[in-house]
């Protein structure tokens, strides 16, 4: 084992910032998430809306990537992407996904699992139109997840679509939103001696059941 590997194995951190109690937490996981993400924003943690998205393809191999949360409500959590990307193709064949937020500075993790559906065309149009012009052109310019010979392809595509659409590019038909409809939430708060707090909310009919899991 190299010295670097030895030093990595020896890394230790004592988690002592906060606690998560099943009786003091919100009965509705959406309210708990709303509280935590707003606390992450207020604490100015880097990229508080960044979340890891896990999908599974037809070969049963999972893949992950980081996407940005762009909205959430009682219907679910929304992100936007290229429908022809790897995640888009995998979701078309297997419309289930897992999300994870990791707010390191707050010693908190939130995990969500659920079914995935596309947002309406109206929702996708509204968000697309709110983006900066360069980002709207970028949605046309990038054949996401496809092999390209070099960056020059992206630059040329951006120039071509910029000249074609000028200041008003329409939303590409291959680009839009997905909504993850939660069937389960988990909230993890780091605690001392690795005795972390871990609460799970699972759906039973129209109600959420809240329970503590061993860390």
Sorting pLDDT into bands at 50, 70 and 90, what band is 7? confident
Sorting pLDDT into bands at 50, 70 and 90, what band is 12? low
Sorting pLDDT into bands at 50, 70 and 90, what band is 18? confident
Tokens of 25: 């937490």
Catalytic residues: 194
Sorting pLDDT into bands at 50, 70 and 90, what band is 11? low
Say if CB 210 and CB 25 are below 8 A apart. Answer: yes
| Per-residue pLDDT tens digits for 57-102 | 999 999 999 999 999 999 999 999 999 999 999 999 999 999 999 9
Tokens of 118: 């596309």
pLDDT computed for residue 162 by the predictor: 95
Per the prediction, the chain carries an average pLDDT of: 94
**C-beta neighbour count of 69 within 10 angstroms:** 17
Task: Give the orientation angle of helix 133-141 with respect to helix 121-130, to 10 degrees.
Answer: 120
Q: What is the pTM of this model?
A: 0.91
Burial of 189 (0-12, 13-18, 19+ CB in 10 A): buried
């Amino acid at each position: 084992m190299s010295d670097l590997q030895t030093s990595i194995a020896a890394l230790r951190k004592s988690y002592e910032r906060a606690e998560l109690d099943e009786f003091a937490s919100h009965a509705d996981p959406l309210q708990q998430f709303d509280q935590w993400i707003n606390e992450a924003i207020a604490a100015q943690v880097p990229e508080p809306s960044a979340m890891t998205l896990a999908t599974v393809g037809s070969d049963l191999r999972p893949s992950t990537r980081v996407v940005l949360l762009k909205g959430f409500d009682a219907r679910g959590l929304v992100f936007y992407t290229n429908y022809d990307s790897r995640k888009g193709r995998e979701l078309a064949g297997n419309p289930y996904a897992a999300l994870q937020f990791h707010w390191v500075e707050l010693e908190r993790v939130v995990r969500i699992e659920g079914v995935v559906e596309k947002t309406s065309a109206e929702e996708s149009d509204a968000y697309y139109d709110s983006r900066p012009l360069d980002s709207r052109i970028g949605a046309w310019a990038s054949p996401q997840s496809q092999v390209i010979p070099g960056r020059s392809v992206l630059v040329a595509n951006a120039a071509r679509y910029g000249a074609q659409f000028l200041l008003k590019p329409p939303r590409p038909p291959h680009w839009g939103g997905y909504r993850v409809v939660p069937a389960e939430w988990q909230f993890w708060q780091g605690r001392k001696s690795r005795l972390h707090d871990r609460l799970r909310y699972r759906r039973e009919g129209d109600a959420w059941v809240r329970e503590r899991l061993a860390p």
